[in-house]
Structure 1
Amino acid sequence: MATSTLECRVVSAREELYSGPITMLIATGSEGEIGVLPGHTPLITLLKPGPMRVQTANGEEQVIYVSGGVLEVQPKLVTVLADTAMRADNLDESKIVEARRKAEQMLANQSDHLQTSAALASLAETVAQLETIRKFKNRA
């Protein structure tokens, strides 16, 4: 018989953002969005930048922005090792919008391949952060 929760750890290089029992985790993996429930088949996947939703055992939902990393699912444990991670309510929308504007400006004024790559990476990150804010605001 499957249990109704599994343990979860979400950590970045800077801090542990969550540790405890969950009923569900939804993240964007390398092949698309993935939902993890108790009893999920073991797997390891790379994470793409974007929002990750953690449904805690007490019914609360936490939205966390991850810039990338690795998601590992074991029979009783889900581990997220994020490159960078922030709780959605800690993201500063005005700073993200300004960073997006700068990335778009860099793209418009590109002079070499390296600048183009940096601008595209920055733009992708800001889009993912804004999506995280949108999901956080819509859950209320």
Structure 2
Amino acid sequence: MAEEKLQRLEVVTPERKVYSEDVRFVVVPGSEGELGFLPDHAPLVSALKIGLVRVHKDGKVLKIAVSGGFVEVRNSRVTILANAAEREDQIDVARAEAAKQRAEQRLAAGGPDIDIARAEAALKRALNRLKAVS
């Protein structure tokens, strides 16, 4: 049987390297929809939106919550430069729930002092983190 072809996946943020391993398949939340990459994919650069990166390796799927950024695919290498990223096994559920509640309270309160776009983005990030662990 032929050896399974893999590609290198690197997920980095300004603070740290979140993930770096050889994987079979990667799905990312592209700005215009989900994008999936197998080894030897054509070169590509795309913006990312808040969403989940799904990593397929050894018959399992790992989820990584990302908060925007960029993906570059080249030479069987997928590099994700994310504004923020957390592996599902590293997410503090209580902290994510608290962030969700704070954002919902800000949006419910309204008023001229509330930055609606910022509160909506915070809510999306918190919901995305909770989705990764569910």
* TM-score, with length taken from structure 1: 0.84
- 1:102 equivalenced with 2:87 (yes/no): no
**Superposed CA RMSD:** 1.8
Aligned to 2:86: 86
C-alpha distance in 1, partners of 2:113/2:39? 45
Equivalent in the alignment of 2:55: 54
Tell me, what secondary structure is at the counterpart of 1:67? strand
**Amino acid of the residue matched to residue 39 of structure 1?**
D
Contact 1:50 1:131 in 2 (8 A): no
For residue 80 of structure 1, give the secondary structure of its aligned residue in structure 2.
strand
Deviation (angstroms), 1:78: 0.8
Give the C-alpha shift of residue 52 in structure 1. 0.9
Shift of 1:62: 2.5
More deviation, 25-34/60-69: 60-69
Unaligned runs of 5+ in 1: 135-140
Aligned to 1:32: 33
Q: Identity over the aligned pairs, expressed in percent?
A: 35
Measured after TM superposition, the shift of residue 115 of structure 1 is 1.7
**2:113 and 2:41 mapped to 1: Cα distance?**
42
Aligned match of 1:44? 45
**TM-score when normalising by structure 2:** 0.87
Measure, in 1, the Cα distance between the counterparts of 2:21 and 2:128: 25
- Equivalent pairs counted in the alignment come to 131
Structure 1 segments (4+ residues) deviating >6 Å: none
Give, as a single letter, the amino acid of the residue that structure 2 aligns with 1:109: A
Tell me the CA shift for residue 60 of structure 1.
Answer: 4.4
C-alpha separation between the residues in 2 aligned to 1:108 and 1:19? 40
Tell me the SS of whatever aligns to 1:38: coil
1:104-135 deviation digits (Å, cap 9, x = unpaired): 1111111137521221111111111111112x
